[in-house]
Amino acid sequence: MKILTDLLETIQPSEVLSVCIGLNWTAVEVTRDGVEKCGIASTLIQSHKHSEEPRIEPAGNFEDFSNIELAQFSLSDNPTLRSVGIAALNASITSDVQKFSESNAAEVLAERGKDKKIVIIGRFPFVDRLRAQVGELAVIDQDPMPGDYPPDTAVEIIPQADVVAITGMALINNTFDNLLGLCPAEAFVMVLGPSAPLSTVLFDYGVDVISGAMVENIQAVIRVISQGGNFRQVHRAGVKLVNMFK
C-alpha cells in the first residue's frame, strides 16, 4: 500500500465528469484547466446477496466526489471501489507524453528476455507467442490455465527471474507491493496493462518500464465499457498502448 500512498500524493485536484463501472473495465473522466482526461482500470467484483446492503454505496453520486476523493478509494476494502480508485488515479496523473514510446510490451519483453528467464504475473494474450522468443517463461495467475502457476508459487519463482512483468491489476487486488518485493535487485521489471499508472513514482520502487494505456477517444471508450466490452473492444474504440521507460 506504500506505493499507492505515494502515487496518491502526486495528483492534483480535478473536476469529476463521469464514472462508469462496466462488466470488465471501469472508467473515470475528469477535467482540469479545460483538458479532459480518462483513466481506466480492470473491474473487480465482490459477490453479494440480494438481501445485503448495497456494495457500492456511492452509486449514482460518484460525480459529487473530487478526483482525489475517488482516487482514495484505491485503498478501500471493497474491490470494486478499488477499481474506481485506480481509474481515478490514472485519470489524474500528469505525465510527459513526450517520454512515451509506442513500442509493444511484448517486443520489449522479447528483447530483454532473450536467453533469459521471464516471469509474468497475469496471463496476457501474447504469452504463448512470447514463449518461443525467450529462454524460459513462467506465468503466475489467479486463475491458472494448464502450464501456469498459482499465486502461492510467486515466492519461489519470482526471485529466480531475470525479467519480471507484473500486471497493473496487482494494484487493485493489493498484491503489488509483495510481488515487487520478491523481484531480484538486478531483474528488469515491467508493470503492464491498462490499469498500470503511467507515473514516475513506480521508478522509485525499482520498476524499469511501465507499459500502460492512454485513452484518446473518451466518449467512445466509455460507451464500450458501459456495454460490457472486453479490452480488445475498448482498445479499438480509442485507447493507445504506450511504454514509459525509466
For the entire predicted model, the pTM comes to 0.93
pLDDT per position as a tens digit, 4-50: 999 999 999 999 999 999 999 999 999 998 999 999 999 998 766 65
pLDDT reading at 99 higher than 90 = no
**Mean pLDDT of the region 162-171:** 97
Q: Which long-range contacts (CB under 8 A, 24 or more apart) does 151-158 make?
A: 151/175, 154/121, 154/178, 154/179, 154/182, 155/182, 157/119, 158/119, 158/121, 158/182, 158/183
Residue 184 corresponds to which cell in the numbers above?
531480484
Dist CA 159 CA 174 (whole Å): 19
Least confident of 53-57, 131-135, 148-152: 53-57
Q: Is the pLDDT of residue 81 over 90?
A: yes
Residues of the chain with CATH 3.40.50.11590: 99-212
- CATH 3.30.390.100 positions along the chain are 2-97+214-241
| CATH level 2 (architecture), domain 99-212 | 3-Layer(aba) Sandwich (3.40)
pLDDT value of position 47: 66
How would CATH label the architecture of 2-97+214-241? 2-Layer Sandwich (3.30)
Could you tell me the CA-to-CA distances from 221 to 53, 143, 195 in Å, in that order? 31, 27, 15
As a whole-number percent, the residues of the chain with pLDDT over 90 amount to 88
pLDDT band (50, 70, 90) for residue 51: low
